Amino acid sequence: MAGSDPHATLVRFGRALRAEGLPVGPDRVAELGRAAALLRPGELYWAGRATLVSRPEQIEAYDAVFGRFFGPPTPTPGPPLRLRVEAEVEEDVGLASRAETLREKSFAQCSREELSELAELMGRIELAVPRRRTRRREPARSGTPDLRRTLRRSFRTGGDPLERAWRRRRPRARRLILLLDVSGSMDAYSRALVLFAHAALRSDRRFEAFCFGTRLTRVTRQLEGSDPDEALRRAAAEVLDWDGGTRIGECLQRFLDEHGHGGLARGAVVVLCSDGLDVGDPELLAEQMARLSRLAYRVVWLNPLKGDPAYAPLARGMQAALPHVDLFASGHNLASLEEVGRALARRYGR
């Protein structure tokens, strides 16, 4: 269906790719035009591959659209793509003993009063989010020698470097992002987790929280107030699909599309709270989890069901997600949440 005007055809081709989700702007189409001009007509397929595709997941969509426009492409089919993932899953975080204290009591069994009490305690959890080193260096008492400052100071002492100076990379806490499943099956835990998110957001202005079920909503603003219960009511109002089923894969996709590459999730610690009882497509979930694990610094999954010693992650959604999770814990009571906070600090350093 290639038209008579080659430029118009390429523009329409670019538009069709954009409709398939490839980031093909006018600049890219111009690139394609330049590349195509350098190649023979039969090589248009590869001209587009080099200029319009920028990650392997896009190849399939590109091939399909290319086929619609210019007939079947002639690439050499490679083996199916499998993305490399770190399958390191931590199994035994949390839950040492089952002493009947509030700390150990499952959120599902807590009364409203007990939860309010817990909300207080949650505020004291120190979320030791790992730090990252920034490009900037700052003067410090120890570290690597700061020769520039040492040299400068040496001018004061007649060229002798008597006073030595040091510097180090300025560390900065990573962002923490909470994704809370508030669907029907999580009902018993939703309230406690929102309280937890409320406490976490108050500890750092850069933290973010989202609620999801069949849809995803950002609730950072709603949770910024001072009263957790009021915040919970407002979050509930915002999350319209409260008590509906869960489509984790789609919600995650939406989260990544809107906030992932923009920078929110990049290099962050992402904590997903969900029982993994997903009614969506597990393949989509696996794909999106792989995306998330490449963008985020660490991915933590809190599954309250894991609080039960007999629990095995058999749900299809959970199985699809696990290979992309760095830390898998229960988060069903205060002790477990505290343990997660410590585990982040211990395993990944401050």
Partner 1 sequence: MRFGSAREVEEALRRESYLPDRGLATAVYLALAMRRPLLLEGEAGVGKTEVGKTLARLLGAELVRLQCYEGIDASQALYEWDYARQLLYARALQAGEVSVDERVAELYGPDFLVERPVLRALRAGAGAVLLVDELDRADDEFEAFLLEVLSDFTVTVPELGTIAVDEPPVVVITSNRTRELHDALKRRCLYHWIEFPDVEREAQIIRLRVPGVEEALARSVAETVARLRALDLVKRPGAAEAIDWAAALTLVGAPAAEGEPARETLGAAVKNREDQARVEAAWAELVE
Alpha carbons 194 and 205: distance in angstroms, whole number: 17
The 3-state DSSP class for residue 181 equals strand
Alpha carbons 264 and 224: distance in angstroms, whole number: 18
Residue 218 binds to partner 1 (criterion: CB under 8 A):
no
Stretch near partner 1 under the rule CB under 8 A, chosen from 37-45, 102-110, 301-309, 335-343: 37-45
Pick 164 or 233: Cβ nearer partner 1: 164
Residue 312 binds to partner 1 (criterion: CB under 8 A):
no
Stretch near partner 1 under the rule CB under 8 A, chosen from 3-11, 54-62, 188-196, 270-278: 54-62
Here's the x/- map for partner 1, 260-279, by CB under 8 A: it reads as: -x----xx------------
Residue 41 binds to partner 1 (criterion: CB under 8 A):
no
Alpha carbons 112 and 216: distance in angstroms, whole number: 26
Alpha carbons 172 and 175: distance in angstroms, whole number: 9
Q: How many residues bind partner 1 (CB under 8 A)?
A: 49
DSSP 8-state assignment for residue 43: G
Least Å distance, CB 152 to partner 1, is 10
Residue 170 binds to partner 1 (criterion: CB under 8 A):
no
Least Å distance, CB 199 to partner 1, is 28
Alpha carbons 212 and 183: distance in angstroms, whole number: 7
The 3-state DSSP class for residue 128 equals coil
Structure tokens at 131: 């730090």
Residue 161 binds to partner 1 (criterion: CB under 8 A):
yes
Residue 294 binds to partner 1 (criterion: CB under 8 A):
yes
Least Å distance, CB 147 to partner 1, is 3
Q: How many CA atoms lie within 13 A of 222 on its CB side?
A: 20
Task: State which of residues 10, 53, 211, 300 lies at the interface with partner 1 (CB under 8 A).
Answer: 53
Contact (CB, 8 A) for 85 and 293? yes
- Return the sign of the alpha-carbon dihedral for residues 230, 235, 238, 239: negative
Pick 109 or 144: Cβ nearer partner 1: 144
The residue among 170, 175, 238, 172 whose CA lies nearest residue 205 is: 175
Residue 300 to residues 47, 188, 253, 303, 323, Cα–Cα distance (Å): 40, 20, 17, 10, 12
Residue 84 binds to partner 1 (criterion: CB under 8 A):
yes
Residue 1 binds to partner 1 (criterion: CB under 8 A):
no
Residue 56 binds to partner 1 (criterion: CB under 8 A):
yes
Residues of this chain that bind partner 1 (CB under 8 A): 23, 27-28, 31, 34-35, 38-40, 43, 46-47, 49-51, 53-56, 59, 75-76, 78-79, 82-84, 87, 132-135, 147-148, 150-151, 154-155, 158-161, 169, 261, 266-267, 291, 294-295
